[in-house]
Structure 1
Amino acid sequence: MSKEFEIVREFEVDATPEEVWEAITQASGAYLWPMDPPEPRVGGAAAFGSKVTAYDPPHRLTVRSEDVGFPTQSANQLDHTIEPRDGGKRAWVRYVHSGIFTDDWDNQYDGAAKHTDFYLHTLREYLTHFAPRPVTFAQLNGPEASQAADAFAAVAPALGLTDDDGPGARVSVRGPAAFDAVVDYRDPYFIGLRTETALIRFFGRNHWGAPVGISVHDFAPDADAEANESAWQGWLNGVFSRP
């Protein structure tokens, strides 16, 4: 049965309103994934067939779609309100994701809410540590075995993380090659690692019936998206092929 939903989040970040605006409108993959940026006007086209319904830089951006194209959702709206703090040196952001889920409401809402927290955290990490550096983006999904209910529990040990390695921990990671990182996010559903040049995100989408996923937001000048994807795909496939 169709039912409306609304996910509201508010936060402050060490970035100017203009920097926040640039991050959310450039749609480069710095914290989400590459997509068509919104046309800079009310009524303009935006990603995935949506339309701009509010456009007031650097204070307000709203995009809405009435034809989402998913069998479990019939409407989708993303609304960003940005206000200056500390004389414009910092920004306060209110983010509202709303729309209509047409089926599997509880599961859809749970997944959307938890992903929202992780994506907005990644936005803050980008603004704090990497903006306005250009990004090279890669993403990939695990094999069918990574859809098992307990699949994501295998990821942290495979990375070499212990149960004590929470947010803020400096760790030596066993990825496609060994590297040092800071754990910037960790809960039963997601893991975020930050290096000097990248944000690497691990998604436990098996909790909602999809494969475990990885995204790599690489800010190194010589970053290679295909190499990142290939390396991490091999690593992720290996995690779920071990006995």
Structure 2
Amino acid sequence: MSKEFSIEREVVLPATPEEVFAAVTTGTANWMFPTPAPDPGSPIVRNWEPPTRFTVRQDGEDGWFNALDFLIEARDGGTAALRYVHSGIFTDDWDNQYDGAAKHTDFYHHTLGEYLRYFGGKSAVYAEVSGPPASAYPSAMEAVRKSLGVSAVGDTVQLELPGLAPAEAVVDYLNPYFLGLRTENALYRVFGRNNFGGTVDISAHLFGEDADKERTEQALGAYLNGVFAA
């Protein structure tokens, strides 16, 4: 049964309003949100008011819509407050979809903060893979944490992905649903979508000059297949 939803958040980010607006609109970090490539002239862009407001809305059949609204306001110390509203209609399994979208929103905002703090202004090569069917079981994220030796935010672990050079990584986010790892040149994000009817998935935002999307996706896929090998 279709039902409207609204997910609202306010976060303070370590950047100016201009930097935040650029991050969510110009391709430097907008891939952290479920938005189409923004174009001020596109019919889905309802507000384009740099650096204070950006709104996109997609409409479909039978009243369906999906809208994201970003309101950005300067704060003291070179920071900015982002007021974010994600609204729309879920067509089925409303409670599970809302829970998943709300938890993803918190993780996206955290990742946006990490990007602005450590990689602000840099463009990234974006890689992502979905885990195998075996990663859909309830304790799948526990298996990932165990394989990486992760126990708490602030831990430093050795990230070893098949075919890539080992890298020291700091755990910047950790809960039963998500895991964030930050290296000198990348942000790795692990999504426990097994909790919402999916699989464990991984994305990587690569900022190094030698960033290689295909090679990284092969490495991430091999890693997940190894963790969840029968």
Classify the secondary structure of the residue corresponding to 1:107.
helix
Match of 2:18 in 1: 18
Match of 1:166 in 2: 152
Post-superposition offset of 1:25:
0.4
Question: Within 2, Cα distance between the matches of 1:182 and 1:117?
Answer: 19
Question: Within 1, Cα distance between the matches of 2:81 and 2:175?
Answer: 25
Question: Within 1, Cα distance between the matches of 2:8 and 2:171?
Answer: 25
Superposed CA offset, 1:124-179 (max 9, x none)? 10011001112111000111111122222211011122xxx322222223433532
Which of 198, 204, 227 aligns to 2:186? It is: 198
Conserved? CA contact 1:136–1:219, under 8 Å: yes
Post-superposition offset of 1:29:
5.1
Match of 1:48 in 2: none
Conserved? CA contact 1:11–1:93, under 8 Å: yes
Post-superposition offset of 1:27:
3.1
- Taking structure 1 as the reference length, what is the TM-score of the superposition? 0.87
Classify the secondary structure of the residue corresponding to 2:188.
strand
Post-superposition offset of 1:54:
1.4
Give yes or no for the alignment of 1:124 onto 2:117.
Answer: no
Post-superposition offset of 1:107:
0.3
Classify the secondary structure of the residue corresponding to 1:22.
helix
Question: Within 2, Cα distance between the matches of 1:211 and 1:235?
Answer: 14
Match of 1:77 in 2: 67
Question: Within 2, Cα distance between the matches of 1:33 and 1:24?
Answer: 8
Question: CA 1:101/1:35 → structure 2, altered by over 3 Å: closer, same or farther?
Answer: closer
Which of 102, 107, 114 aligns to 1:113? It is: 102
Amino acid of the structure 1 residue aligned with 2:125: T
Structure 2: segments with no counterpart, 5+ residues: none
Post-superposition offset of 1:36:
4.7
Match of 2:84 in 1: 95
Amino acid of the structure 2 residue aligned with 1:56: E
Give yes or no for the alignment of 1:134 onto 2:123.
Answer: yes
Q: What percentage of residue pairs aligned between the two structures are identical?
A: 52
Match of 1:152 in 2: 141
Post-superposition offset of 1:74:
2.5
Amino acid of the structure 2 residue aligned with 1:169: D
Classify the secondary structure of the residue corresponding to 1:18.
helix
Conserved? CA contact 1:33–1:137, under 8 Å: no
Q: Number of residues paired by the alignment? A: 228
Conserved? CA contact 1:27–1:34, under 8 Å: no
Structure 1: segments with no counterpart, 5+ residues: 46-50
Q: CA RMSD in A?
A: 2.1
Match of 2:5 in 1: 5
